[in-house]
Amino acid sequence: MSNVYASTHPLVQHKLSRLRDIKTEPKKFRELVREIAALLAYEATADLAVSPRELDTPLAHMTGAELQEKIGLVPILRAGLGMVEGVWGLMPSAEVWHIGLYRDEHTLRPVEYYNKLPLEPTVSVCLILDPMLATGGSATATADVLKRWGVKKIKFVGLIAAPEGIKLMQTQHPDIPIHIAAIDDHLNERAYIVPGLGDAGDRQFGTG
């Protein structure tokens, strides 16, 4: 699958296995979400543009580098919130904008309930953060919102994806790279990823 990057990093795979485990409690679950998000963001941002920066070390003058692009983090509420801190730690100057979507239990389609984006885009690159790419409805809806906002460069960063979600994302937004920790087998009748990890929001916030 072009434009889909499933991490093979041993740390990601080790932490993801602990994350999946039904015995992992919410506190540890949240820690693992943050850690995996940071590792995936590191991989997802490998192509960010940099510009030269003159500086002095204690020993000499040199030309270094600094990020040229302004980054926006866009967690999909509520499960995406747990990924923000891990990614923000790598890029503390990034802006965070929230998109609120919930999945209608009858239609399984996303319904937008929160969007406070300013009129004009203030960033050049957006990372959509959502632990689960299941049906793909929330991710594609968020990408629609960001493109209408005027953002030219968008990436999706998630923990686990189902083939169905990847297919929808690639059909509707073939220009958006998908960075994930694993591609699982399928969706069940309730649109949960199998084997997956259950409900990422409930497991983070102890509401399951």
State the pLDDT at residue 1: 63
Q: How many Cβ atoms sit within 10 Å of the Cβ of residue 112?
A: 14
pLDDT (tens digit, 0 to 9) for every residue of the chain, 208 residues total? 679 999 999 999 999 999 999 999 999 999 999 999 999 999 999 999 999 999 999 999 999 999 999 999 999 888 899 999 999 999 999 999 988 877 677 776 777 888 888 889 999 999 999 999 999 999 999 999 999 999 999 999 999 999 999 999 999 999 999 999 999 999 999 889 999 998 898 899 888 6
State the pLDDT at residue 119: 87
Q: Measured between alpha carbons, how far is 92 from 101 in angstroms, rounded to an integer?
A: 25
Give me the active site residues, please.
103, 107, 199, 202
With contact defined as beta carbons under 8 Å apart, do 196 and 189 qualify?
no
Q: Measured between alpha carbons, how far is 157 from 187 in angstroms, rounded to an integer?
A: 19
Residue 170 parent element (H or E): helix 163-172
With contact defined as beta carbons under 8 Å apart, do 160 and 132 qualify?
yes
End-to-end CA distance of the chain: 33
Please report, for the chain, the start and end positions of each structural domain, with discontinuous segments joined by +: 4-49+67-205
The amino acid that residue 192 corresponds to is Y
Could you please state the CATH topology (level 3) that the domain comprising 4-49+67-205 is classified under. Answer: Rossmann fold (3.40.50)
